[in-house]
Structures are given as structure tokens and as C-alpha cells.
Chain A
Amino acid sequence: AQSVAQPEDQVNVAEGNPLTVKCTYSVSGNPYLFWYVQYPNRGLQFLLKYITGDNLVKGSYGFEAEFNKSQTSFHLKKPSALVSDSALYFCAVRDVGTGGFKTIFGAGTRLFVKA
């Protein structure tokens, strides 16, 4: 069965510093990986995805993620954090099965960016 792990409940970073939010996954076939962000009392917003191709994926709001097959990781990164990046971030893996698909989410990592 597919699974996603986000080992950090919370990440604190100062504004202007680089940030990393960690994610590891377990899949039986090819991984389809996603990052979403959730602001308070809002639905999730898509940031980026990895399906195939370049290991470094660029997404919205200056975020990027690096797919590492040997480490089964898909860490989210940003070179310079903004206070407005403070939110809840979810890593997800697409579970592709016969007749359909579903997305499995990690537990989420809360990012705090201090001014």
C-alpha cells in the first residue's frame, strides 16, 4: 500500500532563509507525488507535482521539490522564505489501482516563518 511520511510536525524558519519541508514515500510502482498548501479554514491549493522527468520540479510561489528515488524522498524547498509562506503543507502520493485512483496525504507539516 502507498504511504507518505512527513517526519516534522512543525518547521520554523526566519524570513529570507531557505526552507525545507521533508517528505518520504512508499509506493509499489511509479510514484506520482504532489505538494499542497493549506491556509487557515481553507481548502488545499496545489503547489507542484512529480510524474516523470527532471528530478527538480518547480511550482507555485517560488517553491520547488526534489525527487530522490534512492532515498524515496520528495522534499519541498524554497530558497528564501516569506512570512506569507506560513501555512500547513501536505505531501501526497497518488495511489493508482484498478478502476480508479486516490491520493494519500501525509500528516502535514506546519511552517512558521518569522519576520
Chain B
Amino acid sequence: GAVVSQHPSRVICKSGTSVKIECRSLDFQATTMFWYRQFPKKSLMLMATSNEGSKATYEQGVEKDKFLINHASLTLSTLTVTSAHPEDSSFYICSASPVLAGDLYNEQFFGPGTRLTVL
């Protein structure tokens, strides 16, 4: 089946630093990837839709200058949390669907998530 990886799985950083999280589709190509944030005991909050070769589409309330998204290729999207603060601590999950006609019907494949802790 389709596999999505994330790196790192866990990161601890100091307040004010930037952290980059990578999301890769290992055995398929994805024109679109999604970044979610999950709070403890809460659902997934869609942060942005990452589009290969173009700017990401951010959800309302998500600061695009703080959460930088780059979709450099059909298999890689990165999320950079800039000037991180303790309130940015969370579980970040990416997902992707294979790039084929019928994307609308395909399930999304999720990465294992990245636990970010900002001290």
C-alpha cells in the first residue's frame, strides 16, 4: 500500500528557533499534500493544503508566515515552524493522495506524525 513518511518523528527545540518537518510519499506521487495539527485528545485541524509547484493554501486562522510550506516535488512537502513558541507544541501530521484521475475518491494516506515540543 501507499506509504507516507515523516521526519523527524519527535523534535524538541528552544523557543525562538525554527523547525523543519519533512513529509514524503515513498511509493507514489502526490500533487497535493495536507498538513494537520492535532491537539491532545482533539481532532485533526487542517492547517494547509500543499500544492506541488505553487503556493500552499492556508486555512483560516493559520499564519502562513509562521508555518511555511514548500512542496518541492511530487514526493516531498516540508513544513517549517518559524520562531517556535511553546504554544506551537503539538502533533503535526501530513497526508497525501496519489496523483491520478479520481483523486476525489482516493483515501488519504497519513504519515506517522511529528511530535514537536518547544521549551
Binding site for B on A (CB under 8 A): 32, 34, 36, 41-46, 49, 51, 90, 94, 96, 100-108
Do A49 and B93 contact each other (CB < 8 Å), given the known contacts A43-B112, A103-B34, A106-B43? no
Closest to A34 in B: B107
A101-B104 in contact (CB<8A) = yes
Choose among B4, B44, B104 the residue that contacts A94 (Cβ–Cβ < 8 A). B104
B34-A102 in contact (CB<8A) = yes
B49-A100 in contact (CB<8A) = yes
Q: How far is the CB of A82 from chain B (nearest CB, A)?
A: 22
Interface residues on B, range: 20 to 34
Do A49 and B107 contact each other (CB < 8 Å), given the known contacts A43-B4, A107-B42, A108-B42? yes
CA A86 – CA B112 in complex, angstroms?
A: 18
Please tell me if B83 contacts chain A, counting CB pairs below 8 Å. no
A45-B43 in contact (CB<8A) = no
Closest to B34 in A: A102
Do A102 and B49 contact each other (CB < 8 Å), given the known contacts A41-B113, A44-B93, A45-B110? yes
Could you say which residues of chain B place their CB within 8 Å of the CB of A45?
110
CA A108 – CA B36 in complex, angstroms?
A: 14
A96-B104 in contact (CB<8A) = yes
Could you say which residues of chain A place their CB within 8 Å of the CB of B43?
90, 105-108
Please tell me if B7 contacts chain A, counting CB pairs below 8 Å. no
A51-B112 in contact (CB<8A) = no
